[in-house]
Structure 1
């Protein structure tokens, strides 16, 4: 899966990203490889903030997949 997106704060664009997500069989499950390349504008967003948010989001997805 490949996608791009922008993140805006009001009228100000603060980042632009290109992301790839790969799924590969591994053992009895699936390994996900998530790669995001970002351009962070004007210091409103940072790689550390993005990493934190992405980890939170993927963690919640993992919980939902375990329940489902």
Structure 2
């Protein structure tokens, strides 16, 4: 018997960066790759970036412990400097582990910007769970913050 678990979370981060810089970190391939597609813990094997409604992003990489991770996201809604909505699937070593809907909302603040990331996930067969996905998303938003700080 297969198992399905549902989970959701919302993460809010304030960054001392202009909203145009925060937006560019998602909308410009080189800027997104700085925080989303790189890292010392893995070796990239496939990357695709198509930032438009209907466009497909792929980030596949092998972690140094040998695990192969694959992310495929389809952009379903984009409103410049306001929001991005995606649906995405994750695989580990070829096994489909989850399908999620994620939104990223952008808000101007005095002296910076706020990003609100909300996600609803369907986690499959005990291979993934909401707590792990939230943890991974927190790490990505930390990496985004470090990237924005170096671009300032």
Q: State whether TM-score is above 0.5.
A: yes
Question: In structure 2, which of residues 131, 136, 139 is the aligned counterpart of residue 48 of structure 1?
Answer: 131
Matched, 1:32 2:115: yes
* Runs of at least 5 residues in structure 1 that lack an aligned partner in the other structure: none
Matches within 5 A, 1:1-68: 1-68=84-151
TM-score (norm 1): 0.92
Q: Which stretch of the first structure deviates more once superposed, 51-60 or 10-19?
A: 10-19
CA RMSD of aligned residues (A): 1.0
TM-score (norm 2): 0.43
| Larger Cα-atom Rg | 2
Task: Choose between structure 1 and 2 for higher RCO, CA contacts under 8 A separated by at least 6 residues.
Answer: 2
Q: CA deviation at 1:10?
A: 3.3
* Runs of at least 5 residues in structure 2 that lack an aligned partner in the other structure: 1-83
